[in-house]
Structure 1
Amino acid sequence: MIANEEQARAFCAARCDADAMARLERFVGMLAEENAQQNLVSSTSLDAVWQRHIADSLQLLDHVPEGASPWLDLGSGAGMPGLVLAIARPDLRIGLVESRRKRIEWLERVVEAFGLSRCAVHGDRLENVESRDTAVITARAFAPLTKLLSLSARFSTPSTTWLLPKGRSGAQELAEQPKAIRAMFHVEQSATDAEAGILIGSGRPAKL
């Protein structure tokens, strides 16, 4: 379990090369600067930015086959996890879905600043994004599970992996779902928070 910033950096370095770590360092600075202009993340979370945001995003790589692509990140907001993953792994095709104008502009600036040619910002509501087959779907605090699956099922295939960081409520939320959804998902312990979990699923959800 990651307990401090030193451990978080080491965790990230084990999953990134030196160039990626340098990009992430730059991103951390950009995030802090932008957060003074718009409330992207809690200001107190920046004191533990590597643990709370960077490592918290990169841990998702441990739950998919190496090189799995494309990814679709729902409600990307400040860029966690999708933008962080794109910065660390520019070889992956990652789509960032965000409907709020200022957040869209922020994501687009970062994508341009790092030359992330395989990362696309979809500046619209998810309902308006063109359907496509996706290998990995991620979402951090996007919507309750039933609504999330209903909105995004059309992007999934029988082999899609769902990675949904859910904080402290994940296990309880899953327990309240219909049997078919409970069978599709399980809860993994977060590497960055002893009280948080990640809902990990596989496949295409039945019609909800």
Structure 2
Amino acid sequence: MNREAVEVPGWLNVSRETLAQLFDFCDLVEKWNPVINLVSRAGIADLWQRHVIDSAQLFFKSPEGGAAWCDLGSGGGFPGIVLAILAKELRPDVTFTLVESDSRKAVFLAESARVLSLPVVVLSHRIENLAPQNADVLTARALAPLSLLCGFAHRHLKPSGIAIFPKGAAATHEIDDARKTWSFKCESSQSRTDADAAVLTIRDIHRA
């Protein structure tokens, strides 16, 4: 990735050191991708905007004070590693647990955390077999329908916790479908990277 050519949005107000870490992470993804297939070919071609910036926006939806963050289905580190890089500067009290059942991707996540000196624990488990994480904030990107994500959030969030889920054009349909099984408060805001997408912040999750 040509670091000089990337566009940094004004809302991503971070230090040069943090930007450098984001770029370094992109380099790691590009290095490992031919072996593990972390993102698609199209994703590699637009890695910065499509994955890094799209992931970074979730950080600014999180509440102040939550110290335990859990990212489910972390895959190639989007959003988990990106969020941990931002937190290192902006909220250094936050620690991250990244959950990824694919052992090869879990190795990549652990190596990225080591190279970038991030406060990250990687768990290579299936989500449904994972012990409750008692997280303040929970994220998942391109993992599952909202109805299933609400079940994960109900299990792994503190009662006062918040879930942050980016969703595509079908977000409204997913909300309606999830409400058949779950009761929750939901705020929807337009994605900063896709006019047809939304970021859902969800709390107070209970079975309907």
Relative to total residues, which structure has the larger strand share, 1 or 2? Answer: 2
Please state if 1:22 is matched with 2:20: yes
Correspondence for 1:97: 99
Q: Which amino acid aligns with 2:96?
A: I
Please state if 1:79 is matched with 2:77: yes
Correspondence for 2:39: 41
Correspondence for 2:59: 61
Q: Which amino acid aligns with 2:60?
A: D
What is the CA distance between 1:101 and its match in structure 2? Answer: 1.2
Contact 2:183–2:207, Cα closer than 8 Å, also in 1: no
Q: Secondary structure of 1:158's match?
A: strand
- The TM-score normalised by the length of structure 2 is 0.87
Deviates more, 1:187-196 or 1:122-131: 122-131
Cα distance in 2 for residues equivalent to 1:11 and 1:57? 15
Q: Secondary structure of 1:163's match?
A: strand
- The TM-score normalised by the length of structure 1 is 0.87
Correspondence for 1:139: 140
Contact 1:186–1:201, Cα closer than 8 Å, also in 2: yes
Contact 2:163–2:201, Cα closer than 8 Å, also in 1: yes
What is the CA distance between 1:87 and its match in structure 2? Answer: 2.0
Cα distance in 2 for residues equivalent to 1:67 and 1:20? 21
Correspondence for 1:206: 206
What is the CA distance between 1:6 and its match in structure 2? Answer: 4.5
User: 1:132-162, CA deviations, whole angstroms, 9 ceiling, x for partnerless residues?
Assistant: 3211110012222222222331222332111
What is the CA distance between 1:46 and its match in structure 2? Answer: 2.2
Q: What percentage of residue pairs aligned between the two structures are identical? A: 33
Cα pair distance change 1:22/1:6, threshold 3 Å: closer
Cα pair distance change 1:207/1:196, threshold 3 Å: same
What is the CA distance between 1:180 and its match in structure 2? Answer: 7.6
Q: Which amino acid aligns with 1:85?
A: L
Cα pair distance change 1:28/1:100, threshold 3 Å: same
Cα distance in 2 for residues equivalent to 1:161 and 1:58? 17
Cα distance in 2 for residues equivalent to 1:71 and 1:170? 23
Cα distance in 1 for residues equivalent to 2:82 and 2:65? 16
Please report the RMSD computed on the Cα atoms of aligned residues, expressed in angstroms.
2.0
Structure 2: tracts of 5 or more residues without a match: none
User: 1:89-137, CA deviations, whole angstroms, 9 ceiling, x for partnerless residues?
Assistant: 2322111000011111111111111122x21101111123222321111
Contact 1:96–1:122, Cα closer than 8 Å, also in 2: yes
Correspondence for 2:9: 10
Please state if 1:166 is matched with 2:167: yes
Deviates more, 1:88-97 or 1:148-157: 148-157
Structure 1: tracts of 5 or more residues without a match: none
Cα pair distance change 1:142/1:159, threshold 3 Å: same
Contact 2:150–2:182, Cα closer than 8 Å, also in 1: no
Contact 1:175–1:182, Cα closer than 8 Å, also in 2: no
